[in-house]
Amino acid sequence: MPEEILNDISHRRYNPLRGSWLLVSPHRTKRPWQGQQESPSKITLPEYDPSCYLCPGNKRAQGDVNPKYENTFVFVNDYSAVKESQAEYTQGGDPSDLSNLLLRAAPVTGKCYVLTFSSSHNLTLADLTPAQILPVINLWTQIYASHLSPSNPLSSIPLNLPAPTQTIEKPSAQYTWMQIFENKGAAMGCSNPHPHGQIWTTTGLPEEPAAELQQLIKYRREHEGGNLLEDYVKVEIEKKERIVFENAGFLVVCPWWAVWPFEVMVVSKKHKRALVDLSVEERSDFAEAVAEVTRRYDNLFETSFPYSSGIHQAPLEGTEEEINASHFHMHFYPPLLRSATVRKFLVGYELMAEPQRDITPEQAAKRLREDCGGELYRKHLK
């Protein structure tokens, strides 16, 4: 464990992946809670819902009909946040004018997808085996590869994927970033319980991955080509304080700098820049790691555990330094704190000053590691 005194005193921890700090207040876990409580997840869903726009064979909002798919299915989002075609915009005027200096805007184009994880309406990733999650990872890989810039060195890597079940059309323009993510549960704003995630591709590099990439490049320059996350994996394996699960290819850890109570990061042990860098065996290892995280989450409070998750990897287009400094990893940000009904809020001090957490990452990792393994809890329910 870290110095025992850190379990009892307020302290700050540094996040080298973002170059930022957070406040840790472990003594606050003893305070009574009289605030908002979330309702436990007790809804029993049907395997097929005729009103669900993601179920096989059903009609979607714009009139398109889903095929009778069996595992995964991807389509362009009917309500995309960004579009490939829109009116042109260029900010004009005198660059020295205060309005142009302070009131800046830039157009963003891109393409957004919805990807179902299963044809069954009543399942989540926690219900799926690694073998059932693998087709999702294969499709993520296929989509990422199809959007890579021809100048990106990753575009020449042989994929060694199973025969695709869908053809992914090339985008009409070259985009910079692809964000693969999932919002699970109504507490995270998910509007449809059918197991699915989203993929947004955009021009420009968004704030979060840009902050991480800047730190990865800085570390690489300062440590003679070293890799920040590869070195961090070595530290965590040596310390064995925050590990939740590991296999040959991946480490699941509650990061030293975690903000959310049971936040975890799935990170490749070796320097892998993106999905296309993963071997067949490593994609299977990644599927196992995702299965372990989601199942342990549900087992923690015996509820369908809400979270937002997302993959950070090399940009679709960038400099050689940006591509090679990237390190494949996946974040899971869950809001639940004390039980299935008590969640953490990022408010007050966290909005105005810096992030803060109560339960330490070491305590969170211990619970997920020691108390939440084994079969999914609801398989034992009658």
Active site residues: 196
344 in a known ligand binding site: yes
369 in a known ligand binding site: no
356 in a known ligand binding site: yes
350 in a known ligand binding site: yes
332 in a known ligand binding site: no
Contact assessment for residue 217 and residue 321, using Cβ atoms and an 8 Å cutoff: yes
Residue environment code for 11-24, b if the CB has 16+ CB neighbours within 10 A, otherwise e: eebebbbeeeebbb
CA distance 87 to 75: 24
189 in a known ligand binding site: yes
Pair of tokens at residue 104: 């800046």
77 in a known ligand binding site: yes
Query: E strands along the chain, which residues?
Result: 11-15, 20-24, 73-76, 110-116, 177-184, 196-202, 243-246, 250-253, 264-268, 307-312, 329-333, 336-339, 342-343, 356-357
Dihedral through CA 181, CA 198, CA 162, CA 65, nearest 10?
A: 160
CA distance 29 to 6: 14
48 in a known ligand binding site: no
Measured between alpha carbons, how far is residue 124 from residues 45, 191, 204, 258, 263 in Å?
11, 14, 32, 24, 19
191 in a known ligand binding site: yes
| CA angle, residues 229, 233, 238, in degrees to nearest 5 | 150
Contact assessment for residue 130 and residue 288, using Cβ atoms and an 8 Å cutoff: yes
254 in a known ligand binding site: no
In the sheet that 20-24 helps form, which strands lie side by side, from edge to edge? 11-15, 20-24, 356-357
66 in a known ligand binding site: no
* Nearest to 183, CA basis, from 332, 356, 337: 332
329 in a known ligand binding site: yes
Alpha helices in the chain (DSSP H): 98-102, 130-146, 207-222, 228-239, 280-301, 320-325, 349-352, 361-370
160 in a known ligand binding site: no
190 in a known ligand binding site: yes
29 in a known ligand binding site: yes
372 in a known ligand binding site: no
Known binding site for UDP-alpha-D-glucose: residues?
28-31, 61, 77-78, 183, 189-191, 198, 344-345, 349-350, 356
Known binding site for Zn(2+): residues?
52, 55, 121, 194
Known binding site for Fe cation: residues?
212, 312, 329, 331
Known binding site: residues?
28-31, 52, 55, 61, 77-78, 121, 183, 189-191, 194, 198, 212, 312, 329, 331, 344-345, 349-350, 356
